Structure 1
Amino acid sequence: MLSTIAERRSIRKYKNIPIPRPFIEEILQAGILAPSSKNRQPWKFTVVSGDSKSVMLKAMEQGLDRESRSPLLPGCRQYLGGARNTLEIMRQAPVTIFITNPLGLNLSEPLTEEDRIFEICNAQSVGAAIENMTLAAAGLGLGSLWICDIFFALEELQAWLNPQGTLFAALSLGYPEEAPSARPRKPFSDVVEWRV
């Protein structure tokens, strides 16, 4: 298993080859099998491909255009170019899975300490589901890209998806057209502290 983790890469170039539905279902099942805080399983998956893909891309593009004029995330303006690049990656990938948290709270309202902990626990759970999905994709010979740039188009994508809850992330999938090298990792000794 450690070799699959070590060899997994974030893929940003995809071949124009459809993914067999059983592969997508296996990836989704891997997400569903993730551990979750209090077994809440705070996830819902929306698989976008085919004709729906162009509508999704249009919503993303409208969000990026709106963000350049009237930003929801003004402190992240320097990342807008990267988000436009992500849109092109989503255009290439044959499948994008949107992950929503049906238990998500409205983050524009003040949170109590208990709400904040609830959100952190659910975020950890959804993160585990997405990581399981990226590893399942790698095991099937597929590439994936875990996408958070969707938050630049949050209003538009939420309106299009109409989810119950909060849009959390997206995961693009496809057969890789590239084989990037591993990105550097911090040294083991810098991130691990032993207390015995």
Structure 2
Amino acid sequence: MISAINNRRSIRRFLQTPIAKEDIMDIIQSGTKAPSAKNRQPWKYIIVQEKAKDEMIEIFRQGIAREENKTALLPQSKKHISAAKYTVDIITKAPVVIFAVNTLSKDLFTALTPEEHIYEICNIQSVAASIQNMLLTATEKGIGTLWICDIYFAYEELSKWLNTEGQLIAAIALGYPDEFPKERPRKKIEEIIEWKN
């Protein structure tokens, strides 16, 4: 697994080679092995491919257009809309897109008590750990991935289209890579740790 950690990259160019259902299931199964707060296992994964993916991409584009031209969920983030459009272009080439949902979440627009907010944070940590397991398993299988947060530029539209309980957290594009990017710079270890003895 150390080699998968070191070799994992965010892939933005995919081959059109289909991914076997068994590999998709292995990847998701690895996600279910992640730790979760109080073993709540709040994750749900919606696998989108083929015709459904084409429909989803159109919905995604509609959401970005609304964000750009009308009522914006992310008014301070409009400078990132071009990157969100590029993300949609990327996923058109990925054979599979998996949406991660926090099934125990309140609606994004619901006010939370401090205790509910803590539960929310813990459940999102659990889903994120699950996603990371999936990325590493895909890497080990030679399948490229892109963890996508640009879904928030079309959050309302995608959530309605997915039609499932819970809060949409992220998407993951999967496909055999058509590129092998270099590792992106990381902060030096000395910059991110503090010892208390």
TM-score of Structure 1 vs Structure 2, range by shorter chain: over 0.9
- Tell me if structure 1 keeps the 8 A contact 2:108–2:167: no
The Cα of 1:78 is off from its aligned counterpart by: 0.5
The residue that corresponds to 2:42 in the other structure is: 42
Q: Spell out, residue by residue over 1:132-165, the C-alpha distance to the aligned partner (whole angstroms, 9 max, x if none).
A: 0000000000000000000100111011100101
The Cα of 1:58 is off from its aligned counterpart by: 0.8
The Cα of 1:59 is off from its aligned counterpart by: 0.7
Q: Partners of 2:120 and 2:136 in 1: how far apart?
A: 24
The Cα of 1:34 is off from its aligned counterpart by: 0.8
| 1:56-71 alignment, distance < 5 Å | 56-70=56-70, 71=72
Q: Which amino acid aligns with 2:170?
A: A
- Name structure 1 gaps, 5 residues minimum: none
- Name structure 2 gaps, 5 residues minimum: none
Using the TM superposition, name which of 107-116 and 144-153 deviates more.
107-116
The residue that corresponds to 1:2 in the other structure is: 2
- Tell me if structure 1 keeps the 8 A contact 2:101–2:169: yes
How many residue pairs match? The answer is 196
Helix, strand or coil at the partner of 1:17: coil
Tell me whether 1:82 sits opposite 2:77 in the alignment. no
The residue that corresponds to 2:33 in the other structure is: 33
TM-score by length of 1: 0.98
Tell me whether 1:103 sits opposite 2:125 in the alignment. no
The Cα of 1:107 is off from its aligned counterpart by: 2.8
Tell me whether 1:115 sits opposite 2:116 in the alignment. yes
Helix, strand or coil at the partner of 2:67: helix
The Cα of 1:106 is off from its aligned counterpart by: 2.0
The Cα of 1:110 is off from its aligned counterpart by: 2.0
TM-score by length of 2: 0.98
Q: Partners of 1:180 and 1:66 in 2: how far apart?
A: 33
The residue that corresponds to 2:94 in the other structure is: 93
The Cα of 1:6 is off from its aligned counterpart by: 1.1
The residue that corresponds to 2:177 in the other structure is: 176
The residue that corresponds to 1:163 in the other structure is: 164
Q: Partners of 1:107 and 1:22 in 2: how far apart?
A: 33
Q: Partners of 1:60 and 1:84 in 2: how far apart?
A: 9
- The runs of at least 4 consecutive aligned structure 1 residues that moved more than 2 Å come to none
Q: Partners of 2:96 and 2:168 in 1: how far apart?
A: 17
